[in-house]
Amino acid sequence: MERRKALGLIAATGAATAASFTALPAFGEETGRAAGATGQGRAKGKGGYTFALDRNVRRTSVRFKNRYGIEVAADLYVPRNARGRLPALVLSGPFGAVKEQSSGLYANEFARRGYVTLAFDPSFTGESGPSFTGESGGTVRDVGSPDVYTEDFSAAVDFLGLQKIVDRERIGVQAICGRSGMALTAAAADSRIKAVATASMYDMSRSMSRGHEDFYTREQRQKVIDYLSRQRWTDAEKGTFARGSHEVPFDEDGNVAPSNRVLPKTLPADADPITKIFFDYYRTERGYHPRSINSTTAWTATTPMSFFGFRQMTNIDMLAPRKALLVAGAEAHSLYYSEDVRKMAPGTVDLVVVPGADHVDLYDRKDLIPFDRLDDFFAENLA
């Protein structure tokens, strides 16, 4: 089923209150999580993480500030046998996930292979400060910004480059899903990033403003803008920030049909394949985390406004002579994003397509994620 129908399904089935920050609940037993809440919680098992820490890796919780003064929460992974100055990687993603999920899994694996790695919660999310997701700070929670999220990558480079164990001339970026467009945008503007790789890339500005595979008509785009504009008045009048779909679906009558959840609490029997793969990660023990927007709630409803206003990767040509490696599943509904970026910079960007893999497989399926190929890429380009 097409992505727009999947979004419509989520809108039809997901109109339930968001989850509180608690241990993995029985689905349907969640309580309200208000926009602005900064509650704490732990994922079930593995110390709050969705993966086991490698015994040869040390993990430390750290904080740093971006140039807007927002405190960003992160985990620093260091090989236990570290000697001298090592190459380092910044990691983040997917969009709406936290560092205890996929980005941490990647960070753990790369640290096992000899890199110093830093997985962070983007601003206003997770544990991060006046930022938007995970543990980051801020009164308003779960707000997305293509500008601030791009800045977070460069701020993470600042932090890594100040660590005595890191060779600041050998810093790269690995991003996953919807954080990939921001990573490429950051790398194009920050030459301290010597190489960048992505997995299951999404361009969130394109996705929010034009729909999956650019299916929005001009009329539909206007309807989305009008809906967001009305929501701004509602939020301003109430002094609160409503939750709503960041990729706005339409109902059968052609009207916007936003939901206050990214994913339904329970999976409908007739769920489409795209909803199923996301649900199987975010809403089950496989990938659930109580601070993850995708696991428990939705973004603030007006989040798409800034993504309408600001395109990503407009200066991708400035990445050269540095290199990028994009990894995507052959069965992924998002494959076209990576293919299109490669067309934009064919001499700079390479693409690896993983046979049999869908979009979410590259979040945590270590049997499918081509870590050897990624390791070779960074070893060559961070030499």
pLDDT over 60 at 101, yes or no: yes
pLDDT over 80 at 16, yes or no: no
pLDDT over 80 at 17, yes or no: no
Structure confidence at residue 128 (pLDDT): 86
pLDDT over 50 at 15, yes or no: no
Partnered with residue 76 across adjacent β-strands are 60, 118
The answer to whether the CB of 352 falls within 8 A of the CB of 326 is yes
Which residues have a Cβ under 8 Å from the Cβ of 81 and sit 6 or more positions away?
56
Average pLDDT over residues 166-176: 98
Least confident range of 19-28, 85-94, 160-169, 358-367 = 19-28
Report the distance separating Cα 356 and Cα 209, nearest Å: 29
Structure confidence at residue 140 (pLDDT): 78
Q: What is the CATH number of domain 3-381?
A: 3.40.50.1820
Q: In this structure, what are the phi and psi dihedrals at residue 294, rounded to the nearest 5 degrees?
A: -70, -25
Average pLDDT over residues 270-285: 95
Tokens of 361: 């497989």
Structure confidence at residue 123 (pLDDT): 94
Report the distance separating Cα 9 and Cα 244, nearest Å: 14
Report the distance separating Cα 203 and Cα 229, nearest Å: 23
The answer to whether the CB of 191 falls within 8 A of the CB of 319 is no
Least confident range of 112-116, 133-137, 189-193, 255-259 = 133-137
Tokens of 45: 């098992």
CA-to-CA separations, 186 to 169, 205, 324, in angstroms, rounded: 16, 14, 12
- Who has greater pLDDT, 135 or 179? 179
pLDDT over 60 at 14, yes or no: no
Tokens of 147: 């500008």
Average pLDDT over residues 231-258: 95
Structure confidence at residue 134 (pLDDT): 55
In this structure, which amino acid lies at residue 2? E
What pLDDT digit, counting tens, does each position of 129-165 carry?
Answer: 754 455 554 467 899 999 999 999 999 999 999 999 9
How high is the mean pLDDT of the chain? 88
Average pLDDT over residues 14-37: 31
Domain ranges (residues) in the chain: 3-381
- Counting every residue written for the chain, the total comes to 383
Report the distance separating Cα 260 and Cα 165, nearest Å: 44
Structure confidence at residue 31 (pLDDT): 30
Structure confidence at residue 238 (pLDDT): 95
Average pLDDT over residues 355-362: 98
Report the distance separating Cα 315 and Cα 311, nearest Å: 10
Structure confidence at residue 3 (pLDDT): 44
CA-to-CA separations, 6 to 224, 250, 268, 272, 277, in angstroms, rounded: 17, 10, 12, 6, 11
pLDDT over 90 at 27, yes or no: no
What pLDDT digit, counting tens, does each position of 64-80 carry?
Answer: 999 999 999 999 999 99
pLDDT over 80 at 32, yes or no: no
